[in-house]
Amino acid sequence: MEVGRAYTRVDAADKVTGRARYTDDLHDGPMLVAKILHSTIANGWVKSIDTAAARALPGVVKVLTCFDAPQIQYPTPGHPWSTDPGHQDVADRLLLTRRVRIYGDDIAVVVAEDEVTARRALKLIRVEYESCPVMLEPEQAMEPGAVPIHEEHPDNILKRTETVVGQPDEALSDPALLHFEGHYQTQQVQHCHIENPISYAYMEHGRITVVTSTQIPHIVRRVIGQALGIGWGQIRVIKPYIGGGFGNKQEVLYEPLNAWLTTQVGGRCVKLDVSREETFQNTRSRHPIRFDIKAAVSSQGRIMARECVAISNQGGYASHGHAIVANAVNGFRQTYPDAVGHRSVAYTVYTNRPAPGAMRGYGIPQCDFAGECLMEDIAREMNWDPYQFRLKNIMPLGYVDPTNGITCYSTALARCMEKGRDFIRWDELRAKYQNQTGPVRRGVGMAVFSYKTGVYPISLETASARIVLNQDGTVQLQLGATEIGQGGDTVFCQMAAQAIGLPTERVNIVSTQDTDTAPFDTGAYASRQTYVTGKAIKKAGELFREKVLSYAREMLPQAGELDLRAGEIVDGGSGESLLTLEELAMEAFYSLEHSVHITAEVTNHCKENTFAFGCCFAEVEVDIPVGKVKVLRIVNVHDSGRLINPKLAEAQVHGGMSMGIGYALSEEMKFDPATGRLLNGNLLDYKLPTAMDHPELTALFVEDEDPSGPFGNKALGEPPAIPVAPAIRNAVLHATGVAVNTLPLSPQRLVEEFRKGGLI
């Protein structure tokens, strides 16, 4: 079995020797360097820009401003194109903008012979602004009379949606039920992939090539075409290895600007070097969302109805638009289907913050924080065991979401919870930490989640795979799906090997996507690739296998039923080896009777989706006077169906847990409310957890076959980051009796809350 093997990453050796090449490692020869001029106001207009001094600086090649850039508004999210204009992404960006919407907006750019000159030239540009009041919170932006950030949305509300399932109102006012309210707020955090989203662009044969650190090369190509108003075939996007993405690179960032710049300097190569500070300020982040929740629960502990109002802070640009908060309220509803009904109201509101977009979990880390805090708070108030209360209400097998039809084809959530409970010693420690006193106390907490796999039926799900035979009986696997650090390339090879009947060792993956040659796939997001691309690989592998066997039948007309196993053509009955794939390949390539290059290419239009599940259990120690939380032990248990590669799956979970720990305890983008300036946009002041901030991380699985997955598998990439923050929050609540409803649980916030709670 190739699927299920703990196969060593196919790129590991290249990565430990430094031979794996990333965008900035690839260019050779002279190139120009571009640097962007960012606004020093957060809301207003550029009245004029004086570039004379900058242009006069020796070494400056070109200075371009918002007054020069094309006035074509374009969208930026990594969504598939929609053929329905009503469902197309919000097109609210320009390459350079006169209307300043965030502190640091892109208003001009210098192209110079070298970086030092480019930076010096930026300092020589004089800008005159007209400013408006800064609005960092939705409440400010929604106030009557607030200045519209985009004129298309005079009230600054990008979108409001309301979804009602069943009859929630009756239950929500039924005096026979128990009623609860909760208010929860998440913070803005950044992906902090260690490679910044760098790109370079040049022209060849009149076409534009952009080499870029992206998760979505085919979408980047399309959006460059939209932004420049040129045919999409005029653009070639190349995606080499990337140093992490986590959703930030599921967005078209500076590639359109970079593509435009090369056209402005006669096709010469221009590198757009994005600094860490620009990555924080000008690329995406995770939305702060406020949740106001009402719940009606029966005295037996069954959730009858809930209402969830979510207000998402979209910052200055639409990015993924309303999709993320819409996903958040759906996710909130799905994990615990209400017995009677549910209402969700979601707002996406423009403000002057740097625009958030997709980040590992796509709204679900936020809603899971709200949902799992709520479950804990209800259980606590009712004196129920939070474990049992959850168990009573989790999504059952066969659940069908009434709004979109997404179905629960498999669930091992209850068994995941059991495993997590045993690991943490739930019953024992819940009792032991019951009545503590003193400044240092311990607690255990838990949280669960559900997560759909890919984006069907909300968007198109399509993936293509190509398999090409080599003379020595190995194959090349070509995909539009991308390796972004998660181990995609390795599991794709395993899946192809499984489908064809080869050892994984004999599958070579073409890791780099070049949109001129890579098959079409929308890319790495929504934890979709092992599922959606996996289906394409499976079909392509089966077709390839069929073609090989058909050629084998030509070569072995006398033989009975044939099979391809471990790279050999064998007798289907006895298993006796009749021909190696190498022998067959040589014949197929060079036969004077019938020469054929055996290849297979398949597009799979995926029209299925399924839920992945999991939970986190944490034990913490809280030093109350200093507001410090130490995570002593932590475990994530996942139901992602069958694992393609258990070793990589485990590693993936570790990384997600780590991100969850930062989300819970330390990470937060902070702003100056007066100017809108980001105060901690660097890796020193933004508190990314280091090795010292981590406990040992334990990742466990329950492996059930999902009938809808290509190999019994379902989503794994994003889920590990989801349940950690609420599990830690609930553990702190258990330890101290104080419910903290705002992330992160930083020392400052905890000391405040402990004061309010009378502990200090």
Partner 1 sequence: MMEILRCTVNGRPVEVGIDQRESLADVLRERLGLTSVKKGCEVGECGACTVLVDGTAIDSCIYLGVWAQGKTILTVEGLQNENGELSPIQQAFVEEAAVQCGFCTPGIIMSAVEIVGSGKRYTREELRKLISGHLCRCTGYQNILNAVERAVNEAHKFVGREEQEQ
Positions touching ligand FES (CB under 6 A) are 194, 244, 485
Pairing of strands 126-131, 235-239: unpaired
Q: Nearest distance from residue 484's CB to ligand FES, in Å?
A: 10
- Positions 62 through 121 that interact with partner 1 (CB under 8 A): 116
Q: Nearest distance from residue 194's CB to ligand FES, in Å?
A: 4
DSSP state at residue 354: P
Taking CB within 5 to 8 Å according to partner kind, which of ligand FES, partner 1, none is near residue 745? none
- Contact pattern from residue 647 through residue 676 relative to partner 1, giving x for each residue in contact according to CB under 8 A and a dash for the rest: xx-xxx-xxxxxx-x---------------
Q: How many CB atoms lie within 10 A of CB 542?
A: 15
**Dihedral through CA 167, CA 172, CA 177, CA 178, nearest 10?**
140
For partner 1, which is the closer residue by CB, 149 or 192?
192
Q: Does 195 bind partner 1 (CB under 8 A)?
A: yes
Q: How far apart, in Å, are the Cα atoms of 528 and each of 218, 312, 545, 716? A: 16, 24, 25, 9
Contact between 620 and 731 (Cβ < 8 Å): yes
**What's the CA gap between 189 and 666, in Å, rounded?**
10
For ligand FES, which is the closer residue by CB, 244 or 695?
244
Q: Nearest distance from residue 194's CB to partner 1, in Å?
A: 4
Q: Does 241 bind partner 1 (CB under 8 A)?
A: yes
Where does 51-114 show beta strands of DSSP type E? 60-65, 99-100, 106-112
Q: Nearest distance from residue 15's CB to ligand FES, in Å?
A: 8
Taking CB within 5 to 8 Å according to partner kind, which of ligand FES, partner 1, none is near residue 339? none
Q: Does 1 bind partner 1 (CB under 8 A)?
A: no
Contact between 26 and 212 (Cβ < 8 Å): no
Q: Which of 753, 36, 725 is nearest to 446 (CA)?
A: 725
Q: Nearest distance from residue 525's CB to partner 1, in Å?
A: 16
Q: Nearest distance from residue 6's CB to partner 1, in Å?
A: 8
Q: Which residues contact 157 (CB under 8 A, 6 or more apart)?
A: 142, 347, 348, 349, 350
**What's the CA gap between 9 and 611, in Å, rounded?**
27
Task: Tell me the residue type at 721.
Answer: A
Q: Nearest distance from residue 502's CB to ligand FES, in Å?
A: 29
Given the structure tokens 């280091």, which residue do they identify?
Answer: 690
Order of all β-strands in the sheet with 611-623 = 440-452, 611-623, 628-639, 697-701
Q: Nearest distance from residue 240's CB to partner 1, in Å?
A: 11
Alpha-helical segments (H) within 521-580 = 534-555
Q: Does 690 bind partner 1 (CB under 8 A)?
A: yes
For partner 1, which is the closer residue by CB, 304 or 649?
649
Q: Nearest distance from residue 243's CB to partner 1, in Å?
A: 3
Q: Nearest distance from residue 244's CB to ligand FES, in Å?
A: 5
Q: Does 189 bind partner 1 (CB under 8 A)?
A: no
Contact between 256 and 227 (Cβ < 8 Å): yes
Q: Nearest distance from residue 8's CB to ligand FES, in Å?
A: 15
Among positions 41, 111, 242, 518, the unique one binding partner 1 when judged by CB under 8 A:
242
Give the three-state DSSP class for 477: strand
For ligand FES, which is the closer residue by CB, 331 or 681?
681
Handedness of CA 35, 40, 43, 49 (dihedral sign): negative
Provide the terminal-to-terminal Cα distance of the chain, rounded to the nearest Å: 59
Q: Nearest distance from residue 692's CB to ligand FES, in Å?
A: 16
For ligand FES, which is the closer residue by CB, 459 or 682?
682
Taking CB within 5 to 8 Å according to partner kind, which of ligand FES, partner 1, none is near residue 176? none
Where does 154-287 show beta strands of DSSP type E? 157-166, 178-185, 199-204, 207-212, 235-239, 270-272
For partner 1, which is the closer residue by CB, 16 or 679?
16
Q: Which of 74, 754, 722, 12 is nearest to 371 (CA)?
A: 722
Q: Which residues contact 437 (CB under 8 A, 6 or more apart)?
A: none
- Positions 114 through 173 that interact with partner 1 (CB under 8 A): 116
Among positions 182, 301, 485, 614, the unique one binding partner 1 when judged by CB under 8 A:
485
Taking CB within 5 to 8 Å according to partner kind, which of ligand FES, partner 1, none is near residue 8? partner 1
Q: Does 451 bind partner 1 (CB under 8 A)?
A: no
Q: How many CB atoms lie within 10 A of CB 485?
A: 21
Q: Does 445 bind partner 1 (CB under 8 A)?
A: no
Q: How far does CA 42 lie from the centroid of its chain?
A: 27
Alpha-helical segments (H) within 57-201 = 115-124, 138-141, 168-172
Among positions 156, 186, 196, 209, the unique one binding partner 1 when judged by CB under 8 A:
196
Contact between 720 and 660 (Cβ < 8 Å): yes
Pairing of strands 341-350, 303-315: parallel
DSSP state at residue 355: P
Taking CB within 5 to 8 Å according to partner kind, which of partner 1, ligand FES, none is near residue 705? none
Taking CB within 5 to 8 Å according to partner kind, which of partner 1, ligand FES, none is near residue 696? partner 1
Taking CB within 5 to 8 Å according to partner kind, which of partner 1, ligand FES, none is near residue 256? none
For ligand FES, which is the closer residue by CB, 166 or 244?
244
Q: Nearest distance from residue 25's CB to ligand FES, in Å?
A: 14
Among positions 25, 130, 385, 672, the unique one binding partner 1 when judged by CB under 8 A:
25
Query: Which residue sits closest to ligand FES, CB atoms considered?
Result: 194
How is 212-279 classified by DSSP, letter by letter?
E--S-HHHHHHHHHHHHTS-GGGEEEEE-B-S--TTTTSB--SHHHHHHHHHHTTT--EEE---HHHH
Taking CB within 5 to 8 Å according to partner kind, which of partner 1, ligand FES, none is near residue 15? partner 1
Q: Does 194 bind partner 1 (CB under 8 A)?
A: yes
For ligand FES, which is the closer residue by CB, 209 or 213?
213
- Contact pattern from residue 356 through residue 395 relative to partner 1, giving x for each residue in contact according to CB under 8 A and a dash for the rest: ----------------------------------------
Taking CB within 5 to 8 Å according to partner kind, which of ligand FES, partner 1, none is near residue 700? none
DSSP state at residue 675: T
Where does 243-340 show beta strands of DSSP type E? 270-272, 289-297, 303-315
Residue 36, H or E segment: strand 32-38
| Helix, strand, coil tally for the chain in percent (to 5) | 30, 25, 45
Q: Does 22 bind partner 1 (CB under 8 A)?
A: yes
Among positions 91, 632, 683, 738, the unique one binding partner 1 when judged by CB under 8 A:
683
Q: Nearest distance from residue 41's CB to partner 1, in Å?
A: 25
For ligand FES, which is the closer residue by CB, 556 or 651?
651
DSSP state at residue 636: E
Q: Does 15 bind partner 1 (CB under 8 A)?
A: yes
Given the structure tokens 């390459």, which residue do they identify?
Answer: 95
Q: How many CB atoms lie within 10 A of CB 477?
A: 24
Q: Nearest distance from residue 3's CB to ligand FES, in Å?
A: 24
Q: Which residues contact 256 (CB under 8 A, 6 or more apart)?
A: 74, 95, 223, 224, 227, 228
**What's the CA gap between 211 and 204, in Å, rounded?**
13
| Number of H-type helices and E-type strands within the chain | 20, 27
Among positions 4, 70, 166, 244, the unique one binding partner 1 when judged by CB under 8 A:
244
Q: Does 11 bind partner 1 (CB under 8 A)?
A: yes
Q: Does 57 bind partner 1 (CB under 8 A)?
A: no
Taking CB within 5 to 8 Å according to partner kind, which of partner 1, ligand FES, none is near residue 682? partner 1
Q: Which residues here bind partner 1, judged by CB under 8 A?
A: 8-9, 11-22, 24-25, 116, 191-196, 241-244, 246, 275-276, 484-487, 647-648, 650-652, 654-659, 661, 682-684, 688, 690-692, 694, 696-697
